[in-house]
C-alpha cells in the first residue's frame, strides 16, 4: 500500500504540473499519449486503494485562470468527457439508442449567449467553473454571426479553432523557427485571449458550434441532430457530424479516421452524443463527466524501434534541440525514423540512452513522438560544446523546463540556418545541399554569403576531396546549383530571410509590384503597408531590411548570379487572375498539394484553406465525397473540379 500511495503522489504531481502548463501557459510538457497513460494509471490506483486526494486531477475539471480579462462563473459546470480508445466501449455506451458522432476539435471551448438576435457575451471554458469574458474578440472571429434571426435568448457552446492552413500561413511570417507556434491549439488560445482584438481578427479564428445549451421557447422534437440543423439555419458553422447506431458506428469511425490526416481542422478524436435529449439528461453525470456523451481518442498505432542516437540541432537563437534518431518503423502508412524530444526535461523523464528499446507513435496520426522507453539506460549526456561551433554549452531553466544553449555569440548555426533557408525548397531549391554540407563549406571558408553558392565551381578541387564527396557528388551538386539560377522573384525574396516575410507574403509582394524587384526596393513603408495582406508590421521588417547597405549589396551580388523571369511573367494577370481556390483530398496529376497550389498562384490565382462565399472553385478528385468542404461547396453553389477539370481551366 505504501508503494502505491507513493506512486499516486508522484502521478498527481506530474499530471497537475502538465495540466497547468497546458491550460494556463499554452505549452506541453507531456505528450497526450503520456498524459493519458499516467492518468489511467492514477485512476486504477485510486480504485485499488480507495483513496482520492483533493488535488487529484481525476476529481477536478481544471485550473484557475491567469490574465487580465474579466472572469465569469458559468451557469452550469462545463465538464470534461469520459474517453475511450475502443469502439466496442462506444457501442456499449450507445446501446440501442441513436447517437450523433462528430469531430472532437482541438482548440479553445467558448460559450456564446445571444439576446434579441445579437451576440451579447462570449466566455471561455476556463477551468470549467469560471471562464474569461472574450466578447469583443469573439465578434471578430472569421465566421462568427454577430446577429441571428432568433430573437430570444440562446446559449450554445463550440470550439474556437485555427485551421492547419492558417496556422502554417502565420508561422511562415515568423523568421525565427524557435519562435514559431508549436500547434494550432496554442496559437488559437493566445489569439482568442488577446487584449487587442485586432490581433484576433488578423489570425482568422473560426467558431464551430458543437452543443446547444438552451434556446428559449424552441422545441427540437427531443433530438440533438435537430438542434444541429437549426443552428446551421441560424448561420452557425456546425461541427461535421453523422447520425449513428450501434451497428453503423464502426464504419462511421473508420470514415472519420480516413479523413483525419488530410483535414484542415485540428482534431484529437471524436465525440459520441446521445441523440435523445431527454434520455441523455436522465442519465445525469458523475463528479467529472456527463453521462450523455463520450469522447473517442484515436488508438495510436505504436511501433517498437531502437534508439540509434540523440542528434543535437542548434538553431538561429542558440537553442540546441535534442532529436531522437531511431531505426525506421512504419506507422499510419509512412516510415518514420526521427522524433523531436523537445528539451532536456523530456529527455530526462524518458531516460533516453543510445541503444534503448523505445515505442513510437504519430500523435493525432500526424506528428512522430516517443511513447515509452522500455529499457531506460539514460538519459544521454548533453554535449558540453556546441556541435556547430565548438563553443561552450549551458543548461538553462525556462518556465520549469531545462533547455540547452550555445553560449558563443559568433556561433555558425545562425549562418547555417540562413543558408539552409536560402537553398531550401520554398526558396532557391538547391537539391542535395544539406545542413551538413553547408557546415563543411562554411568551415572551409568556401561560402560567406548566399551569392557564394553560385560560385562553388571555383572550389571544385577542394570539394571533391571533402569527406562524403567525390567527382560524381560534386557534379550532381553543381547541376542543382545551375538549375537553381533560374528562379522567381518570390523565391528570392523569401530566401533572403527577411523577418516576418514567409513564402506566402513574398508572393503577395511580387504580384503587387508586377515582378519588379527595383520597385520593391524603392517602395516606402507606407507603400509596402498598403499592399493587401502585408500591413505595417511586415512593411517595417521589409523596409528595415532593404535600407541596410549590406543587404542591398547582397541583393546586387545575387542579381549577377541568378536569372529572373521577365517582369511581365510576374504580373499575376494569368488565366486564373482574381480567382480563389480551395484544395482538398488526394492529388494525382501533381506531385503534391503544394505543387498544385504553386500552379494556381503562377497563373494569378489564390489558394485558401476554407470554403467560403469568396471561393470560386473547390478542387477535389472525389466530387461525390461527403467531406465538410464538399458539403460547404454544394451549399454555396461553388463548382467542384477534378484535377483534369482544373487543367482544362488552366489552358
Active site residues: 104
- Give per-residue burial for 101-126: e unless 16+ CB within 10 Å, then b: bbbbbbbbbbbbbbeeeebeebbbbb
Quick one: 162 exposed, middle or buried, by C-beta within 10 A (0-12, 13-18, 19+)?
buried
End-to-end Cα separation, the chain, in angstroms: 76
Cell numbers representing residue 156 in the block? 450554445
Q: How far from chain centre, in Å, is Cα 71?
A: 28
Q: How far from chain centre, in Å, is Cα 346?
A: 21
Q: Using alpha carbons, list the distances in angstroms from residue 288 to 19, 57, 129, 596.
A: 15, 10, 12, 47
- The three-point CA angle 438-178-386 to 5° equals 50
| Contact between 157 and 211 (Cβ < 8 Å) | yes
| Contact between 438 and 466 (Cβ < 8 Å) | no
- Give dist(CA 417, CA 9) in Å, integer: 44
- Give dist(CA 82, CA 394) in Å, integer: 43
Name the residue among 540, 451, 420, 534 with its Cα closest to residue 177.
420
Cell numbers representing residue 270 in the block? 471524436
Sequence-ordered alpha helix ranges (H) in 31-97: 32-49, 87-94
- Give dist(CA 77, CA 125) in Å, integer: 9
Residue located via cell numbers 467542384: 640
| Contact between 336 and 362 (Cβ < 8 Å) | yes
| Contact between 27 and 7 (Cβ < 8 Å) | no
Neighbour count for residue 312 (Cβ, 10 Å): 18
Residue located via cell numbers 499592399: 531
Q: Using alpha carbons, list the distances in angstroms from residue 151 to 113, 117, 122, 209, 210.
A: 12, 4, 17, 18, 21
Instruction: Using CA atoms of 183, 184, 187, 193 in order, give the dihedral in degrees to the nearest 10.
Output: -130
Name the residue among 343, 342, 317, 323 with its Cα closest to residue 395.
343
DSSP 8-state secondary structure symbol assigned to residue 588: S
Quick one: 206 exposed, middle or buried, by C-beta within 10 A (0-12, 13-18, 19+)?
buried
Lateral strand order in the sheet of 154-161: 118-124, 108-115, 154-161, 206-215
Q: Using alpha carbons, list the distances in angstroms from residue 517 to 67, 424, 488, 570.
A: 45, 21, 11, 11
Neighbour count for residue 636 (Cβ, 10 Å): 13
Neighbour count for residue 70 (Cβ, 10 Å): 11
Sheet strands (E) in 107-183: 108-115, 118-124, 130-132, 154-161
| Contact between 608 and 165 (Cβ < 8 Å) | yes
Amino acid at each position: 500500500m505504501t508503494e502505491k500511495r507513493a506512486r499516486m503522489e508522484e502521478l498527481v504531481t506530474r499530471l497537475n504540473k502538465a495540466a497547468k502548463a497546458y491550460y494556463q501557459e499554452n505549452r506541453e510538457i507531456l505528450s497526450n499519449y503520456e498524459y493519458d497513460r499516467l492518468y489511467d494509471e492514477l485512476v486504477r490506483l485510486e480504485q485499488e486503494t480507495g483513496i482520492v486526494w483533493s488535488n487529484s486531477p481525476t476529481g477536478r475539471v481544471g485550473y484557475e485562470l491567469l490574465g487580465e480579462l474579466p472572469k465569469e462563473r458559468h451557469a452550469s459546470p462545463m465538464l470534461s468527457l469520459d474517453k475511450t480508445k475502443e469502439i466496442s466501449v462506444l457501442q456499449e455506451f450507445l446501446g440501442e439508442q441513436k447517437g450523433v458522432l462528430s469531430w472532437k476539435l482541438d482548440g479553445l471551448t467558448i460559450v456564446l449567449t445571444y439576446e434579441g438576435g445579437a451576440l451579447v457575451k462570449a466566455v471561455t471554458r476556463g477551468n470549467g467553473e469560471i471562464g474569461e469574458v472574450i466578447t469583443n474578440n469573439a465578434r471578430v472571429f472569421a465566421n462568427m454571426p454577430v446577429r441571428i434571426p432568433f430573437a430570444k435568448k440562446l446559449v450554445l457552446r463550440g470550439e474556437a479553432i485555427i485551421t492547419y492552413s492558417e496556422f502554417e500561413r502565420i508561422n511562415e511570417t515568423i523568421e525565427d523557427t524557435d519562435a514559431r507556434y508549436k500547434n494550432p491549439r496554442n496559437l488559437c488560445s493566445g489569439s482568442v485571449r488577446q487584449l487587442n482584438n485586432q490581433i484576433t481578427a488578423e489570425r482568422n479564428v473560426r467558431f464551430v458550434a458543437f452543443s446547444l445549451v438552451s434556446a428559449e421557447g424552441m422545441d427540437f422534437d427531443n433530438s440533438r441532430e435537430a438542434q444541429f440543423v437549426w443552428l446551421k439555419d441560424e448561420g452557425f458553422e456546425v461541427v461535421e457530424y453523422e447520425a449513428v447506431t450501434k451497428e453503423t458506428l464502426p464504419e462511421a469511425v473508420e470514415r472519420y479516421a480516413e479523413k483525419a490526416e488530410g483535414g484542415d481542422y485540428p482534431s484529437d478524436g471524436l465525440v459520441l452524443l446521445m441523440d435523445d435529449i431527454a434520455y441523455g439528461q436522465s442519465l445525469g453525470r458523475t463528479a467529472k463527466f456527463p453521462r450523455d456523451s463520450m469522447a473517442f481518442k484515436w488508438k495510436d498505432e505504436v511501433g517498437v524501434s531502437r534508439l540509434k542516437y540523440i542528434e543535437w540541432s542548434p538553431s538561429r537563437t542558440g537553442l540546441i534541440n535534442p532529436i531522437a534518431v531511431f531505426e525506421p518503423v512504419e506507422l499510419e502508412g509512412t516510415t518514420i525514423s526521427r522524433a523531436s524530444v523537445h528539451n532536456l526535461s523530456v529527455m530526462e523523464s524518458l531516460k533516453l540512452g543510445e541503444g534503448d528499446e523505445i515505442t513510437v507513435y504519430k500523435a493525432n496520426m500526424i506528428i512522430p513522438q516517443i511513447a515509452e522507453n522500455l529499457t531506460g539506460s539514460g538519459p544521454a549526456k548533453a554535449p558540453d560544446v556546441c556541435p556547430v561551433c565548438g563553443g561552450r554549452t549551458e543548461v538553462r531553466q525556462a518556465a520549469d523546463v531545462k533547455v540547452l544553449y550555445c553560449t558563443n555569440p559568433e556561433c555558425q548555426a545562425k549562418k547555417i540556418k540562413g543558408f539552409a533557408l536560402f537553398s531550401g525548397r520554398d526558396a532557391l531549391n538547391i537539391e542535395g545541399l544539406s545542413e551538413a554540407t553547408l557546415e563543411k563549406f562554411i568551415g572551409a571558408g568556401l561560402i560567406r554569403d548566399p551569392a557564394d553558392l553560385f560560385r562553388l565551381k571555383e572550389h571544385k578541387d577542394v570539394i571533391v576531396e571533402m569527406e562524403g564527396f567525390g567527382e560524381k557528388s560534386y557534379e550532381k551538386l553543381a547541376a542543382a546549383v545551375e538549375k537553381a539560377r533560374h528562379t522567381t522573384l518570390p523565391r528570392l525574396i523569401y530566401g533572403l530571410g527577411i523577418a516576418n516575410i514567409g513564402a506566402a507574403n513574398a508572393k503577395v509582394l511580387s504580384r503587387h509590384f508586377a515582378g519588379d524587384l527595383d520597385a520593391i526596393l524603392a517602395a516606402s513603408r507606407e507603400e509596402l503597408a498598403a499592399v493587401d495582406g502585408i500591413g505595417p508590421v511586415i512593411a517595417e521588417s521589409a523596409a528595415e531590411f532593404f535600407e541596410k547597405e549590406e543587404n542591398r549589396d547582397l541583393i546586387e551580388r545575387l542579381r549577377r548570379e541568378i536569372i529572373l523571369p521577365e517582369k511581365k511573367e510576374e504580373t499575376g494577370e494569368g488565366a486564373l487572375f482574381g480567382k480563389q481556390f480551395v484544395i482538398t483530398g488526394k492529388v494525382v496529376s501533381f506531385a503534391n498539394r503544394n505543387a498544385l497550389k504553386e500552379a494556381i498562384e503562377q497563373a494569378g490565382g489564390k489558394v485558401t484553406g476554407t470554403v467560403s462565399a469568396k471561393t470560386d472553385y473547390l478542387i477535389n478528385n472525389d466530387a461525390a465525397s461527403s467531406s465538410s468542404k464538399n458539403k460547404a461547396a454544394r451549399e454555396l453553389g461553388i463548382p467542384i473540379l477534378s484535377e483534369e477539370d482544373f487543367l482544362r481551366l488552366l489552358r
